[in-house]
Amino acid sequence: MRAALDLALEGGLPHATVERVSAVSGVAKSTLYRRWPNAPAIVMDAFFDEVGPMIAYDAQLPIIESFCQSVGALVGALEGPRGQLLRELLGTAQADPDLREAFVERWIAPRRQLGQEAIEAAIARGELRPDIDPALALDLIYGAVYYHLTVSFSDIDRCFVATLVDRVLSPYLTARA
């Protein structure tokens, strides 16, 4: 996976072919194909393995700080070549049903689950009101981030992240109830 990610970051998604990944990693093509349907799927898994731990929620922080930290880390991780690579993966997933399914199963669903769990934990500890819709809150926050990344191609700074998270979650803080 490291070879696939390095190749993709070096020359874009088309540069990371199964043949190149096999040659650089020393892993047989047949072994790669047993685990992944194509090279973009290898790159996607490598990308997610690298970025996933960087964007974890911190249960020790208040919910708004935890989300600001997580979203800010995602934005930071997607600057430069990683952001370009994610755009390429998303674009390829539009036409590749296997990659699209893998994208949802390995990135979107697990991230949504972790976000929902963070919000539910904040509700359980009395920090957020129970009338918040966790799925909608996640859509509002991450929808804005992915919009900036894939549609407007505009930069996102810490101020934007803080404002976004505050506008979505603050109305549900119990202190403001």
What DSSP state is assigned to residue 144? H
pTM of the model: 0.83
Confidence of residue 176 (pLDDT cuts 50, 70, 90): low
More confidently predicted of 3 and 176: 3
Contacts of 159 (CB under 8 A, 6+ apart): none
Cβ pair 128, 122 in contact under 8 A:
yes
What tens digit of pLDDT does each residue of 80-121 get? 788 888 888 888 888 988 888 888 888 889 999 999 999 999
125-151 average pLDDT score: 94
Q: Indicate whether 54 pLDDT > 70.
A: yes
* Residue 164 DSSP symbol: H
The residue whose two tokens read 């991780």 is 77
As given in the structure block, the two tokens for residue 77 are 């991780």
Q: What is residue 177's predicted lDDT score, i.e. its pLDDT?
A: 43
> CB of 67 within 8 A of CB of 165?
yes
pLDDT at 47 over 80: yes
pLDDT > 90 in the chain, percent: 60
pLDDT value of position 16: 93
CATH numbers and ranges of domains, the chain: 50-176 (1.10.357.10)
The predicted pLDDT at position 92 comes to 87
What is the Cα–Cα distance from 134 to 115, expressed in whole angstroms?
8
Quick one: average pLDDT of 126-142?
97
Which has the higher per-residue pLDDT, 124 or 97? 124
What percentage of residues in the chain have a pLDDT greater than 70?
99
Residue among 12, 167, 173 at smallest CA distance from 83: 12
pLDDT at 64: 97
Structure tokens at 82: 């990683």
